[in-house]
Structure 1
């Protein structure tokens, strides 16, 4: 596996671990709770992806991901010790970047394992959203993926943009860069301007 893929995967794990740690801080969890929430957020989506693809689970095969999760959580805790007033919107921004990174990682891993493009888009979305979904369920929050605001759809759009450029024969790094930009900008736009899908309502 290419070095760049390994590092982008580690970056996604670290960013999502930060997101989970910030949520644990907001919910006033103890040290064990921080580790659990950071880990679930960081590796939950990738674990489900690898099980579905029937390949070795990435963090079991390479313990760098466990160390990345723990290091990111520890550094976030250290930062919060210095500056405890950590605005909640930083959690959402960290989550947006983690979402985009994991979306690309999920697609790349599916394609490396000869999955069709439509399956790769699905695996990218699962990798991006499932860890955050588990985090929100554990914290008894309505999962971001289910509350109407653009979330999973940003992964799908990022995946479709990747697929379109891939079919046009563009170099892999351009496909990745555009997919990351589409996912992050759509998610940040949804946070800023409250872009939403229609919400099911009985009225």
Structure 2
């Protein structure tokens, strides 16, 4: 049985899609824990709904970014798991965590990297009137959305779409492909 830890900061739709996908016991993958940096995040309610334990390390209750990162690292080191999955996690992991878990942290980004790294990628690509958007699943490295690309899926942006319609379709791609790619990564670590 492979085990994953999910880090999330917000609404948690990717978190819930991953949990639902791996709720099938034949998948032989367990979502072990949700860790959030935001005590008000809706993802906490989603974790209760799907029966996954949640650990809150509230960023704003810490005296500094370093204090927060040390607490997160201590918690991660106390756990046994195979992969860290970022699902709408809005913090940049420090180099020492990234190096410690090299090739064991994955992230999803709502653009075709290397385009539109960082925040507000959906809005920026839409406002630039791109013909295509999409999603990228990548390993996390020390940069912002610069890690090795594992998977990309493009999405034609239709002329009659609003920003909301485009965002809705990006999220559909995320929910469809992120769990499948996580499963492939876990299989490559050593068969499940």
TM range (shorter): 0.3 to 0.5
> As a proportion of its length, which structure holds more strand?
2
Question: Please, what TM-score do these two structures have when normalized by structure 1?
Answer: 0.34
> As a proportion of its length, which structure holds more helix?
1
Question: Please, what TM-score do these two structures have when normalized by structure 2?
Answer: 0.36
